[in-house]
Amino acid sequence: MSSTPETNSSAFHTDSKKAPVSTSMPEHISLDKWADTGFEWSGEVDPNDFERLVAMLSTEHDQSNLHLSAELYRRNNVLHLAFTLKGDIWLTCQRCLQPVAVDLSDDYNIALLENDSQVRLIDEEQDYLLLDEIVAVQSPERLLPFKKLVEDEVLLKTPLAPKHDDCEMSVEQFGEIPEEEEGENPFAALASLKGKL
Ligand SMILES: [Zn+2]
């Protein structure tokens, strides 16, 4: 059952009444359709499907699918997107240049606010985004950019300078090897979009 045959049947792209199970990850979730009833999706995601992430992935090692389980729901009348990721991505170790696995497994939860006044309805530590800033405006219905939001979180979790725990450069004679500056995560701006002031 773990083998996922390529079922790229475009039949699933028709306007299905129910949230499709085990098709590829939806780009968007229609808020008009699902914001009230809630929406769930779970399935396998190929890290190579994340367009911004792909540049950071190792090409020396096959990527394996991540398991994603996501839910859109309301709590205190505030929309939340919660998801659980399980799995690793392969990046390039910045010390030995060999592939290194980075575990992305975690639980993520973002409140999606209609406006600033909803901030008082959520916990202080709760991450949040304003729907106005993320919902696609050009479409006739309000679409939550589901895949993009998941990728944002993946990018924030992805280390800029991944390294093996146990590989060392064999350089002693110069004394201490200065740790590379971590530098700013190029995706740090994504974090600043979120509520934490
Ligand atoms: Zn290494």
pLDDT in tens, the chain (197 residues): 444 444 444 344 444 444 545 578 999 999 999 989 999 999 999 999 999 999 999 999 999 999 999 999 999 899 999 999 999 999 999 999 999 999 999 999 999 999 999 999 999 999 999 999 999 776 788 999 999 999 999 999 999 999 999 997 644 434 555 555 556 666 777 776 676 44
Angstrom CA distances, 153 to 47, 132, 187, stand at 13, 19, 10
pTM: 0.75
How many domains does the chain divide into? Answer: 1
Q: How many whole angstroms from 167 Cα to the centroid of ligand 1? A: 5
Compute, in angstroms, the gap from residue 162 CA to the centroid of ligand 1.
8
Residue 29 maps to a domain = yes
The answer to the question of residue 16 being in a domain is: no
Asked if the structure places residue 18 within a domain, the reply is no
In angstroms, the CA 13 to CA 7 distance is 12
- Does a structural domain hold residue 176? no
Q: Is residue 12 part of a domain?
A: no
Q: Which domain holds residue 159?
A: 23-165+187-193
| 182 belongs to a structural domain | no
Q: How far is the CA of 180 from the centre of ligand 1 (A)?
A: 14
- Could you tell me if 92 and 49 are in contact, meaning their C-beta atoms sit under 8 angstroms apart? no
Residue 163 alpha carbon to ligand 1 centre in Å: 5
Ligand 1 mean position, distance from CA 132 (Å): 42
